[in-house]
């Protein structure tokens, strides 16, 4: 018999449509707002019209007396502070002593219908003392008259300060052949997911509380509900229906979720809270408005000698993920290049504005923009091609960074080579006519944070349960949160691959804390790596049982069995074998339904200094993007025509999902470059709507040429790494550097709107610096 | 956000509309496509207890090379390639309104009489209340130009400048009968963002009449906005005219999206008649136009930038006239 090697994978690497896709595109998928409970009430939130005010007294009597009102809630009823990070609990479900921004929740009602609820809100009367507002983080770095939170550093509004120094930065700058400095300024941007937040809560006479919520982190929500409401976790059931996008905006336990549960407890009736679009903007937790100051020292051959980085980060009213943000704005500079000396000072400052938080490529995006612009400048000064400069500085595989990050797999140099070749870089860079340009930007991101947010109790970061009964359908349970990124499909895909069965046999169950084993959620680009490994471990256990069944039926020793399509057969004689169903039924004879549990925990890593864990990850993704832009030099309007996106996510598991993530990331990154911004006048958000918050339109999308060049990661599931956040980062500097190639102006104030393009060109002309003959 | 209740009226003829409007004096709004009015109602902007829906009035429908019914859907006008060829500025403008979904509801009349816009006005009740209400809704001050007791909300329709450039007329009906006058006289240049039209109380826009003399005349409508769809104009420039060789024979130029009302600039363009428009002369003229337009800071783009774009857009629109309307 001819011996042909079977393809290593049957499903992995293919374009696999989402398992829930048919339900979503026909409108049958169940989102939170689709759920209706008998006797359900409408919950509504009263938001602060004051940026900063002490709440002296409140009169809710008229609201309570209104017919159709079932409950009116103010802050003192559930004053326990919470927050996503255990070390910075500074949020309350409803403001207790102070309102801290325009939009802060100061009261809530549950009523029979929407109009009654809104009328009740209008009848609540507060007496307040206005307090100073703080719009600019620079005004909060010293002692202030009225700190926004008591926990601010030394009477200031500084929420977190990070100071790190590795190697000897001053010595490196002293011996450097050249250095550059970039001051970056970045407006805040927000996630703008399709589905606004929504929650339903119901307290039942059996003493239990059930909460359905559009969340990325059902487990953290579960914990926070328990802490604030004072109910043991086992009496609370958290269910995550389908979620219409998150991008980090649903990765904190959010106040409205707790308020909704509190209203259900108060009224004994189910309560639904829908957050409308304007309130989504006030809930925010988007990317921090940031100012950074980046110095890079380089030797005459173009080797990076040192980074010296400062960041001033506008946190808004709460901590949220801010401590992580403060670290990330420094330490995520530690790849994709070797940096022998590194100094960082980062400060995140509270302001009386909607809270900032985690947003796709959290902490890495603004930092990366400034670094990549600086490297572009250095390459120009050294007359080196930007690709060559980056290539010669690339971190090698299996190395350790100066701050003790463990780097295992990196295909960064392959990314560079692919982007350079496919984009036609060598015949375009500095050679296109005035107004047209190409630019290179690179990226580096964690593939799952090595540290879980909670350390007690010690437990795996992801667990997957599988059960298969005589019908041959495989139920997969895990608290991993599919938010549209395709993690349900990934789970099914891995199980089907390992067992050799059709994808349709695997039924991924809705997240339900009563039955789903804990996975800590969809954030930090961790799900593919961590849940993927847990799923693989569970499926391999199940496979062992099925192979034992096949072995008992055929007499072929387990170690001689191969996994085929719905069949297990002898490696020596492929005609001898048993089907999946035969093997299953044989294996079930003594234990009934087959069950398996797989778990993943990342290995110990990182140094022993303070903050050493921040940014450590079991693997990292790498990117090299080229953008080609065309600028209308009369209007400053520009269009990114093509983006060549070379990305290292290790082995591609679901090509369709990875490509979708990259295209979506390019769109989201372009938004931050071209026009998205939370526009404030003082502390007032001027554009809380999708009409005035300028997400790019389809006509503005470039052609995205996706180049997936990653080698297998040694620890990722089947060699895979993340592809959900890293793909965003390189988009921004690629466009920024392409604008420079087009018109000869460095843009470091984002978004780069057409008026800024024109001003930049004007200034260059005033300084008599012609560019491409203009 | 929810809609407060209102009483909906569905008259079936212009006469019925006129009689209803007399009866409901000051207590109603006309409901055309609803794409502007209903979002504004959800924000509780100047609610009226009655809405007079116009979709059952046959006379307000239809479009041809001579006439656009006020209730004709923008999507239907957009699909008429003959019309776009005959009146290029109209073809350009109608395509540029909002999004396909909005154009499938939005109407010719609705776009001509679209509410003026300002980022202190187009906000929720919560937002406006927390800042303090403005002149245009519920308040007594202007947040854009605080020292003035005048509303600076920006005229944000696309069709008006295009129709002005092709020298169209509007037909209106009211208690005192029907009137017909040039589109540019529909807007009260001496008014403000609140008092913005010359319509008498209750008067109904019936149709737009397109003149034969400007038919097939080269022209264009160019729209400035942040994104290539969805957004309202931050500036809209329409030009239509005829050249005698390189010399200007007739030129009509209108600008919207920049001030409280759209305007046509006949006094300035008439001075060009008989002149050869060299690139330098055109640039100088465009700069003159730029100087005569004064946007304020109440839309997304900065007023300095919008003003600067006037000369670029004027130049480009006139170049399209010079090029014979060729794209």
The pLDDT tens digits for A114-156 are 999 999 999 999 999 999 999 999 999 999 999 999 988 899 9
CB A557, CB A749: distance < 8 Å: no
pLDDT number for residue A418 = 98
Confidence at A415, pLDDT banded by 50, 70, 90: very high
Which residues, in sequence order, are CB contacts of A25 under 8 Å at separation 6+? Answer: none
Structure tokens, A467:
């059960």
pLDDT in tens, A337-372: 999 999 999 999 999 999 999 999 999 999 999 999
> What is chain A's mean pLDDT, rounded?
97
Q: Among the residues of A471-630, which ranges form H helices?
A: 487-499, 527-554, 580-591
Identify the pLDDT of residue A8. 84
- Looking at residues B142-149, what average pLDDT do you find? 94
Which residues pair with residue B255 across a beta bridge?
B237, B263
Q: Count of CB contacts below 8 A, A vs B?
A: 57
Residue A7 has pLDDT above 60, yes or no: no
| Within this chain, domains A385-450+613-774 and A455-600 share the same CATH topology | yes
Domains assigned to chain B: 60-327 (3.30.390.50)
Residue % of chain A over a pLDDT of 90: 98
**What integer pLDDT is reported at residue A239 of this predicted model?**
98
From chain B, the residues in CB contact with A675 under 8 A are: 226-227
Under DSSP, the state recorded for A197 is -
Q: Give DSSP secondary structure letters for B58-118.
A: GGG--B-SSEEETT-BHHHHHT-HHHHHHSHHHHHHHHHSS-HHHHTT-BHHHHHTPPPB-
Give A 105-134 residues with CB within 8 A of chain B: 114-115, 118
Question: How many whole angstroms separate alpha carbon A160 and alpha carbon A356?
Answer: 14
Q: What's the confidence (pLDDT) of residue A217?
A: 98
Judged against a pLDDT cut of 50, whether residue A1 lies above it is answered with no
pLDDT band at A2 (very low <50, low <70, confident <90, very high): very low
Query: What gap in Å lies between CA A56 and CA A126, rounded to an integer?
Result: 7
User: CB–CB of A767/A760 below 8 Å?
Assistant: no
**CB–CB of B304 and A755 under 8 A?**
yes
Judge whether residue A170 has pLDDT over 80: yes
CB contact under 8 A, B119 and A692: yes
Place of tokens 């979002």: B39
Query: How far apart are the CA of B139 and the nearest CA of chain A, in angstroms?
Result: 17
pLDDT at B325: 44
ipTM: 0.96
**Residue B185: pLDDT over 70:** yes
Q: What is the pLDDT of residue A5?
A: 55
The CATH number of A455-600, from 3.40.50.10540, 3.30.365.10, 3.30.540.10, 1.20.1250.20, is 3.30.365.10
Residue-wise pLDDT for A489-542, tens only, equals 999 999 999 999 999 999 999 999 999 999 999 999 999 999 999 999 999 999
Question: Cα(B235)–Cα(B316) distance, rounded to whole angstroms?
Answer: 13
DSSP A86: G
How many angstroms away from the CA of A265 is the closest CA of chain B? 25
Cβ–Cβ under 8 Å, residues A214 and A243: yes
Residue B92: predicted pLDDT? 98
Indicate if the pLDDT at residue B105 is higher than 80: yes
pLDDT given for residue B326 in this prediction: 42
- Residue B189 pLDDT > 90, yes or no? no
Domain boundaries, chain A: 385-450+613-774, 455-600
Q: In the prediction, which pLDDT does A386 show? A: 98
Interacting residues of B307 by C-beta distance below 8 A, sequence separation 6+ = B258, B290, B293, B294, B295
Per-residue model confidence as pLDDT tens digits over A10-36: 999 999 999 999 999 999 999 999 999
- Binned at pLDDT 50, 70 and 90, residue A286 comes out as very high
- What pLDDT score does B2 carry? 81
Where does the pLDDT of residue A3 fall: very low under 50, low under 70, confident under 90, or very high at 90 and above? very low
CATH top-level class of A385-450+613-774: alpha beta
**CA–CA gap between residue A444 and residue A649 (Å, rounded):** 11
- Stretch B162-188: mean pLDDT, rounded? 97
Q: Which residue of A has its CA nearest to B5?
A: A115
- Give the residue from chain B lying closest to A51, CA to CA: B130
Q: Mean pLDDT, to the nearest integer, of A750-773?
A: 98
What is the reported pLDDT for B327? 42
Distance, in angstroms, between B202 CA and closest chain A CA? 31
Average pLDDT of the residues in A481-496: 98
Q: Which of A283, A677, A755, A762 to mutate to test the interface with B (most CBs of B within 10 A)?
A: A755
Is the pTM value of this prediction over 0.90?
yes
Work out the average pLDDT over A738-749.
Answer: 98
Share of chain B above pLDDT 90, in %: 95
Round to whole Å and give the CA distance between A374 and A530. Answer: 34
DSSP string, A100-129: -STT-EEEEEEESSHHHHHHHHHT-EEEEE
Cβ-defined contact of A634 to B312 (cutoff 8 Å): yes
* Chain B environment of A281 (Cβ under 8 Å): none
Q: How many CB atoms lie within 10 A of CB A473?
A: 13
What is the nearest CA distance from A567 to chain B, expressed in angstroms?
51
Distance, in angstroms, between A273 CA and closest chain B CA? 13
Q: Tell whether B81 is within 8 A of chain A (Cβ).
A: no
Residue of A234, A226, A239 whose CA lies nearest to A265: A226
Mean pLDDT over the full length of chain B: 96
- Which chain A residues are closer than 8 Å to B131 by Cβ? 684
Is the pLDDT at B44 greater than 60? The verdict is yes
- The percent of chain B in helix, strand and coil, each rounded to the nearest 5, is 30, 20, 45
Contacts of B19 (CB under 8 A, 6+ apart): none
Strands B169-174 and B67-69: unpaired
The contacts of residue A109 (CB under 8 Å, 6+ apart) are A43, A44, A46, A63, A69, A71, A72, A73, A117, A120, A121, A124, A263
């Amino acid at each position: 018999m001819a011996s042909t090697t079977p393809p290593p994978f049957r499903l992995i690497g293919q374009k696999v449509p989402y398992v829930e896709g048919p339900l979503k595109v026909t409108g049958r998928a169940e989102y939170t707002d689709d759920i209706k409970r008998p006797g359900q009430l409408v919950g509504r939130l009263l938001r602060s019209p004051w940026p900063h005010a002490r709440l002296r007294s409140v009169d809710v009597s008229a609201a309570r007396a209104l017919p159709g009102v079932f409950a009116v809630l103010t802050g003192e009823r559930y004053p326990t502070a919470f927050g996503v990070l255990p070390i910075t609990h500074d949020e309350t479900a409803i403001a207790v002593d102070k309102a801290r921004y325009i939009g802060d929740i100061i009261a809530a009602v549950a009523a029979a219908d929407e109009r009654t609820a809104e009328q009740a809100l209008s009848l609540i009367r507060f007496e307040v003392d206005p307090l100073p507002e703080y719009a600019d983080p620079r005004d909060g770095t010293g002692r202030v008259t009225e700190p926004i939170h008591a926990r601010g550093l030394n009477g200031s509004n500084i929420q977190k300060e990070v100071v790190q120094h590795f190697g000897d930065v001053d010595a490196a700058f002293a011996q450097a052949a050249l250095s550059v400095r970039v001051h970056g300024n970045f407006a805040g941007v927000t996630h703008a997911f399709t589905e606004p937040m929504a929650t339903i809560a119901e307290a039942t006479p059996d003493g239990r509380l059930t909460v359905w919520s559009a969340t990325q982190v059902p487990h953290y929500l579960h914990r926070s509900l328990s802490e604030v409401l004072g109910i043991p976790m086992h009496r609370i059931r958290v269910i995550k229906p389908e979620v219409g996008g998150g991008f980090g905006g649903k990765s904190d336990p959010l106040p409205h979720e707790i308020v909704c549960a509190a209203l259900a407890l108060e009224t004994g009736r189910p309560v639904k809270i829908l957050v409308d679009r304007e309130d989504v903007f006030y809930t925010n937790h988007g990317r921090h408005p940031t100012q950074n100051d980046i110095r890079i020292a380089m030797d005459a051959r173009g080797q990076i000698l040192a980074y010296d980085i400062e960041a001033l980060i506008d946190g808004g009213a709460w901590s949220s993920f801010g401590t992580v943000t403060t670290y990330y704005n420094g330490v995520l500079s530690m790849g994709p290049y070797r940096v022998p000396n590194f100094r960082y000072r980062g400060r995140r400052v509270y302001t009386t504005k909607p809270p900032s938080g985690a947003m796709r490529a959290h902490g890495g995006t603004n930092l990366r923009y400034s670094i990549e612009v600086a490297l572009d400048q250095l390459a120009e000064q050294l007359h080196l091609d930007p690709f060559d400069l980056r290539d010669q500085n690339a971190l090698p595989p299996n190395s350790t960074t100066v701050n003790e990050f463990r780097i295992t797999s990196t295909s960064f140099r392959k990314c560079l080579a692919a982007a350079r070749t496919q984009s036609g870089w060598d015949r375009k860079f500095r050679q296109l006519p005035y107004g047209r340009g190409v630019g290179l930007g690179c990226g580096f991101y964690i593939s799952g944070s090595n540290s879980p947010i909670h350390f007690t109790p010690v437990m795996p970061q992801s667990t997957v349960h599988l059960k298969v009964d005589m019908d041959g359908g495989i139920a997969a349970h895990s608290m991993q949160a599919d938010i549209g990124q395709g993690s349900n499909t990934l789970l099914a895909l891995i199980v089907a691959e390992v067992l050799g069965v059709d994808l349709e046999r695997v039924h991924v169950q809705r997240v339900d804390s009563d039955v789903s084993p804990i996975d800590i959620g969809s954030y930090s680009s961790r799900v593919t790596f961590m849940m993927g490994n847990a799923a693989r471990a569970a499926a391999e256990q199940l496979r062992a049982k099925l192979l034992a069944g096949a072995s008992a039926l055929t007499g072929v020793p387990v170690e001689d069995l191969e996994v085929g399509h719905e069949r297990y057969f002898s490696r020596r004689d492929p005609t001898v074998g048993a089907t999946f169903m035969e093997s299953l039924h044989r294996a079930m004879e003594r234990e009934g339904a087959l069950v398996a549990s797989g778990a993943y925990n990342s290995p110990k890593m990182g140094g022993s200094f303070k903050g050493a864990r921040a940014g450590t990850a079991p693997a990292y993704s790498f990117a090299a993007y080229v953008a080609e832009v065309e600028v209308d030099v009369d209007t400053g309007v520009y269009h990114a025509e093509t983006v060549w996106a070379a990305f290292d996510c290790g082995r591609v598991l679901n090509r369709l999902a990875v490509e979708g993530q990259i295209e979506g990331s390019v769109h989201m990154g372009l938004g931050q470059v071209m026009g998205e911004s939370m526009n404030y006048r003082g502390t007032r958000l001027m554009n809380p709507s999708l009409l005035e918050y300028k997400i790019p339109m389809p006509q503005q999308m470039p052609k995205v040429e996706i180049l997936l060049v990653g080698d297998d990661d040694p620890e990722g599931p089947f060699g895979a790494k993340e592809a959900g956040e890293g793909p965003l980062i390189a988009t921004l500097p690629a466009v920024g550097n392409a604008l420079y190639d087009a018109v000869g102006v460095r843009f470091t104030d984002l978004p780069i709107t057409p008026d800024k393009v024109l001003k930049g060109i004007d200034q260059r002309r005033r300084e008599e610096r012609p560019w491409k003959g203009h | 956000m929810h809609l407060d209740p209102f009483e909906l009226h569905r008259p079936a003829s212009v006469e019925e509309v006129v009689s209803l409007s007399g009866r409901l004096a000051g207590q109603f709004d006309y409901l055309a496509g609803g794409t502007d009015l209903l979002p504004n109602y959800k924000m509780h902007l100047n609610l009226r207890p009655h809405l007079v829906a116009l979709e059952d009035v046959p006379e307000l429908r239809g479009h041809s090379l001579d006439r656009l019914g006020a209730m004709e859907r923008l999507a239907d006008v957009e699909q008429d390639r003959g019309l776009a060829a005959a009146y290029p500025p109209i073809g350009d403008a109608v395509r540029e309104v909002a999004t396909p979904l909005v154009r499938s509801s939005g109407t010719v009349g609705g776009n001509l009489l679209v509410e003026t816009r300002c980022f202190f006005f187009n906000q929720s009740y919560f937002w406006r209340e927390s800042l303090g209400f403005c002149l245009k809704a519920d308040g007594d001050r202007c947040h854009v130009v605080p020292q003035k007791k005048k509303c600076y909300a920006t005229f944000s329709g696309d069709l008006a400048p295009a129709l002005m450039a092709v020298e169209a007329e509007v037909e209106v009906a009211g208690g005192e009968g029907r009137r017909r006058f040039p589109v540019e006289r529909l807007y009260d240049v001496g008014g403000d963002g609140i008092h913005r039209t010359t319509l008498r109380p209750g008067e109904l826009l019936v149709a737009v009449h397109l003149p034969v003399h400007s038919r097939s005349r080269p022209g264009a409508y160019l729209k400035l906005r942040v994104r290539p769809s969805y957004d309202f104009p931050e500036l809209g420039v329409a030009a239509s005219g005829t050249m005698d060789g390189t010399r200007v024979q007739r030129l009509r130029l209108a600008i919207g999206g920049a001030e409280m009302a759209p305007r046509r600039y006949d006094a300035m363009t008439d001075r060009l008649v008989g002149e050869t428009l060299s690139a330098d002369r055109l640039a100088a003229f465009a700069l003159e136009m730029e100087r005569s337009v004064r946007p304020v800071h109440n839309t997304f783009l900065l007023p300095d930038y919008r003003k600067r774009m006037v000369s670029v857009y004027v130049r480009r629109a006139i170049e399209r006239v010079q090029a014979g309307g060729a794209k």
